[in-house]
Structure 1
Amino acid sequence: MKTRGVVNAVIGIWFVIAPWMLGFSYNAGAISSSNVFGTLQVIMSFWGTNKLGWKPRQNWVSLITGLWFVLFPFIY
């Protein structure tokens, strides 16, 4: 389960730095949304790496942030 947590953390870190890497740092809504959901993804993924198994709330948070990451480019 540690591999899943690390991969989720890397995805979350990418979304935290993506506004500056992809050049949409001029949009305040995109920056705040990307930072909030990316940070939430990182926190939940690191929280899951030190526990046995993957808890249902972590699955839901991962699902919600994953859906947001898919919809994010179409919204902004």
Structure 2
Amino acid sequence: MTLKNILSACLGVWFLLTPWMFAFTNESNAFWLCVILGGLQVICSLLALGKSGRNVWQNWVCFFIGAVFIVIPNLFHWGLLAFFLFVALGFLTMLLNYSNLYAE
């Protein structure tokens, strides 16, 4: 559980830093979406450390943030590398948090 939440927090940090890595800081909607949702994922993942089960709301929040990160590249029409990384890492975020939700 703890390792999965730490990995989810690391993915949140990555999503938080992507506006600078892919140089789309001039697109204000995409910039703020990544900064706010990435920061929220980091916070919720750290709050969920050591917890598992369907009643842990922090894992649910991170699960749905992963789903949003899958959709984001379709909204802003980014390049192939950014598209692939957002979809793959958004899906990985969903898988990590799903495995925390249904650990048994």
Fold match, TM over 0.5?
Answer: yes
In structure 1, the gaps of 5 or more residues are none
In structure 2, the gaps of 5 or more residues are 77-104
Query: In the alignment, which residue of structure 1 is the partner of 2:60?
Result: 60
Q: Does 1:24 align with 2:31?
A: no
Q: Could you report, residue by residue, the CA deviation over 1:31-64 in whole angstroms, capped at 9, with x for unpaired residues? A: 1000110011000000011x44354312320221
Larger of the two Rg values belongs to structure: 2
Percent identity between matched residues is 31
Compute the TM-score of the two structures, normalised by the length of structure 1.
0.88
Q: Could you report, residue by residue, the CA deviation over 1:12-49 in whole angstroms, capped at 9, with x for unpaired residues? A: 00111100101111101111000110011000000011
Letter in 1 for 2:65: T
Q: Secondary structure at the match of 1:34?
A: helix
Query: In the alignment, which residue of structure 1 is the partner of 2:12?
Result: 12
Q: Secondary structure at the match of 2:24?
A: coil
Which shows bigger deviation, 28-37 or 55-64?
A: 55-64
Query: In the alignment, which residue of structure 2 is the partner of 1:34?
Result: 34
Separation in 2 of the partners of 1:30 and 1:41?
Answer: 16
- Asked if structure 1 preserves the Cα contact closer than 8 Å seen for 2:48 and 2:58, the reply is yes
- Asked if structure 1 preserves the Cα contact closer than 8 Å seen for 2:45 and 2:59, the reply is no
CA RMSD of aligned residues (A): 1.3
Consecutive aligned runs of 4 or more in structure 1 exceeding 4 Å deviation: none
Q: Secondary structure at the match of 2:48?
A: helix
Separation in 2 of the partners of 1:36 and 1:11?
Answer: 13
